[in-house]
Amino acid sequence: MNRARSQTVLHEVAHHTHLKPARVAELVAHWARTGEIPAEICTALEDALDRHGPPQIPGSIPPESR
């Protein structure tokens, strides 16, 4: 995902959860380290990624190319 899309996702999650983008970023970083994320953040993040995120893991081979 490019930087602009990442920023869009971050700001959307912040907007929908009434948090500052920096706090959302902290929670996502915490999730990456611990596997723990508040359910509200997870839901908002999944929704934003469905709208703006990549369909696969960056750098992976798309299924249609295998």
Name the band, by pLDDT with cuts 50, 70 and 90, for residue 15.
very high
CA dihedral over 24, 26, 27, 28, signed as positive or negative: positive
pLDDT for 5 beyond 90: no
pLDDT for 55 beyond 90: no
**DSSP state at residue 25:** H
**DSSP state at residue 7:** H
**pTM score, two decimals?**
0.76
Q: Note the pLDDT of residue 4.
A: 84
More confident residue, 6 or 34: 34
C-beta of residue 44 within 8 angstroms of C-beta of residue 19:
no
Name the band, by pLDDT with cuts 50, 70 and 90, for residue 10.
very high
Domain residue spans in the chain? 3-54
Q: Note the pLDDT of residue 66.
A: 56
Burial (0-12, 13-18, 19+ Cβ within 10 Å), 23: middle
Helical packing angle, 21-34 and 3-17, nearest 10°: 100
